[in-house]
Amino acid sequence: MKLIGVDVDGTLVNSKRVITERTREALISAMKAGHKVVIVTGRPTAGARNLAEALEFDKYGGLISSFNGGAITDFATGKVLANHEMDHDIAVEMIKLAKDLPLETMVPYMDTVFSPKIGPYTEGEARTLRMEAKEVEDLDQTIDFPVNKILFAADPDLIDEPTSKIKERFGDLTEQVKSARFYYEVMPMGLSKGNSLLEIAKIFNIDQKDIIAFGDEMNDETMIEAAGVGVAMGNAVSKIKEIADYVTLTNDEDGIAYYLDKFIL
Closest among 107, 102, 103, 101 to 134, alpha carbons compared = 107
- Beta pairing partners, 152: 105, 184
DSSP 148-193: S-EEEE--TTTSHHHHHHHHHHHTTTEEEEEEETTEEEEEETT--H
pTM: 0.88
For 49-107, write each residue's pLDDT tens digit: 999 999 999 999 999 999 999 999 999 999 999 999 999 999 999 999 999 999 999 99
What pLDDT does residue 104 have? Answer: 97
Query: How many beta carbons lie within 10 A of that of residue 21, not counting itself?
Result: 10
Rounded to 10 degrees, the C-alpha dihedral 198/87/121/225 comes to -20
CA distance 196 to 70: 8
DSSP 88-127: HHHHHHHHHHHTTTT-EEEEEETTEEEESS--HHHHHHHH
CA distance 222 to 11: 15
For 230-253, write each residue's pLDDT tens digit: 999 999 999 999 999 999 999 999
Identify whether the C-beta of residue 8 lies closer than 8 Å to the C-beta of residue 41.
Answer: yes
For 13-59, write each residue's pLDDT tens digit: 999 999 999 999 999 999 999 999 999 998 999 999 999 999 999 99
**Residue ranges of domains in the chain:** 3-84+191-264, 88-188
CA distance 185 to 150: 6
Residue 219 has pLDDT above 90, yes or no: no
